[in-house]
Amino acid sequence: MTEELRNFLELKLPQVRKGEKPDISLGVAEPKIGSQIFEETKIPCQNDEFILELLRGVRFHYETLISDFYKSPLAGFLKGSRATEKEKFNVDQVDDMIFEAISTLDTLDKDFNSSLMGLRLWYSRHFPELFDIVNDNYLYAEVVNYVENKSDLSEHKIPRLSEILGGDEDKAKDIVEAEKASMGEDLSPIDLIHVKQVSQKVIDLAQHKKHVHEYLVYQMNDIAPDLAFVIGEIVGARHAECSINSRTDCFSGTEITVYGEKLRRQVEERLGCYDVDMMKAAIDTEDGGSAKKSSNETEIKGEVGLIEEDKPAANAINGDAAEEDMGIEKKKKNKKKKKNKKKKEKCTSSKFSLMALYLLFEAASGYSLFQAHGIDETQQNSTEAVRNLVTDFDRFSEVVKIVDFSPFDSASDALNQYNAVSQGLLTEELKNFLEINLPKRKKGKKLKYSLGVADPKIGSHIFEETKIPCQSNEFVLEILSGVRFHFDTFISDFDESQFGGFLSHSISRYTEEYNFEEVDNMVFQAIFTLDTIDKDVNSSMRLKLWYSRHFPELFDIANDNYLYAEVVKYVENKSELSEDKIPGLVEILGNDEDKAKEIVEAAKASMGQDLSPKFMSSNFHGE
> Does residue 4 have a pLDDT over 70?
yes
C-alpha distance from residue 384 to each of 354, 375, 379, 399, 483 (Å): 20, 11, 11, 14, 16
Give first-to-last CA distance, the chain, whole Å.
40
SS3 state at 346: helix
Phi, psi of 246 (to 5 degrees): 55, 40
Region of poorest pLDDT, from 37-51, 54-68, 503-517: 503-517
Say how far apart CA 157 and CA 164 lie, in whole Å: 11
- What percent of the chain is predicted at pLDDT more than 70? 65
pLDDT per residue as tens digits for the range 260-274:
555 556 555 544 444
Note the pLDDT of residue 310.
41
Mean pLDDT of the chain: 73
Cα 105 to its chain centre, rounded Å, is 10
Strand partners, 86: none
Question: What's the pLDDT score for residue 252?
Answer: 44
Neighbours of 498 (CB within 10 A): 17
Q: Stretch 495-518: mean pLDDT, rounded?
A: 41
pLDDT tops 60 at residue 379? no
The confidence score (pLDDT) of residue 504 equals: 39
Q: How far apart are CA 317 and CA 300, in angstroms?
A: 18
At residue 616, the pLDDT reads: 57
Question: Does residue 312 surpass a pLDDT of 60?
Answer: no
What is the structure's pLDDT at 257?
A: 52
Q: What is the pLDDT of residue 262?
A: 56
Q: What percent of the chain has pLDDT over 90?
A: 2
> What is this structure's pTM?
0.33
φ/ψ (deg, to 5) at 556: -70, -25
Q: What is the pLDDT of residue 178?
A: 87
Q: Compute CA distances 311 → 267, 308, 317, whole Å.
A: 21, 5, 10
Amino acid type, 457 = K
Instruction: Output the pLDDT for position 186.
Output: 83
Kindly tell me if the per-residue pLDDT of 546 is higher than 80: no
Is residue 503 scored above 90 in pLDDT?
Answer: no
Choose the weakest-confidence range: 154-163, 176-185, 221-230.
221-230
| pLDDT surpasses 80 at 339 | no
Please give the pLDDT value at position 464: 87
Beta bridge partners of 359: 370, 452
Cβ-in-10-Å burial (0-12, 13-18, 19+) of 396 comes to buried
Q: What is the pLDDT of residue 260?
A: 57
Lowest mean pLDDT among 78-87, 330-339, 399-408, 418-427: 78-87
Provide the pLDDT for residue 332.
Answer: 62
pLDDT tier for residue 302 given thresholds of 50, 70 and 90: very low
**Distance in angstroms (rounded) separating the CA atoms of residues 485 and 85:** 26
Q: Which residue has the higher pLDDT, 409 or 598?
A: 598
For the stretch 117-146, pLDDT in tens is: 888 888 888 888 888 888 888 899 999 999
Examine the pLDDT at 518 and tell me if it is beyond 60. no
8 A C-beta contact, residue 102 and residue 239? no
Task: Decide: helix, strand or coil at residue 6.
Answer: helix
Of 170-184, 208-222, 405-419, the least confident: 405-419
Higher pLDDT, 295 or 61: 61
Cα 479 to its chain centre, rounded Å, is 25
pLDDT band at 376 (very low <50, low <70, confident <90, very high): low
Residue 532's pLDDT is: 64
Q: What does the alpha-carbon distance between residue 471 and residue 475 come to, in Å, rounded to a whole number?
A: 10
Tell me the range of 420-429, 466-475, 545-554 where mean pLDDT is highest. 466-475
- What's the confidence (pLDDT) of residue 251? 42
Query: What pLDDT sits at residue 93?
Result: 59
**Rounded distance between C-alpha atoms, residue 386 and residue 479, angstroms:** 7
Q: Model confidence over 443-452: pLDDT tens digits?
A: 777 778 888 9
**Structure confidence by residue, pLDDT tens digits, 209-250:** 888 888 888 888 887 777 777 778 888 777 765 544 433 334
**Is 27 a residue whose pLDDT tops 90?**
yes
Q: How many other C-beta atoms can be found within 10 angstroms of the C-beta atom of residue 144?
A: 26
| Runs of H (alpha helix) within 400-455 | 411-422, 428-437
Question: Lowest-pLDDT range, 166-170, 259-263, 293-297?
Answer: 293-297
pLDDT attached to residue 279: 46
Bigger pLDDT: 272 or 29?
A: 29
**How many angstroms separate the CA atoms of 572 and 623, rounded?**
12
Burial call 19-52: b when 16+ CB within 10 Å, e when fewer: eeeeeeebebeeeeebebbeeebebebebeeebe
Confirm if 126 and 150 have CB atoms less than 8 A apart: yes
pLDDT band of residue 459 (cuts 50, 70, 90) is: confident
Work out whether strand 26-27 and strand 449-452 pair parallel, antiparallel, or are unpaired: unpaired
User: Average of pLDDT values for 479-496?
Assistant: 78
Distances (CA, A) of 279 to 151, 262, 266, 268, 320: 57, 11, 12, 17, 21
> Stretch 165-193: mean pLDDT, rounded?
86
Residue-level pLDDT at 242: 53
Residue 280 has pLDDT above 70, yes or no: no
What integer pLDDT is reported at residue 109 of this predicted model? Answer: 87
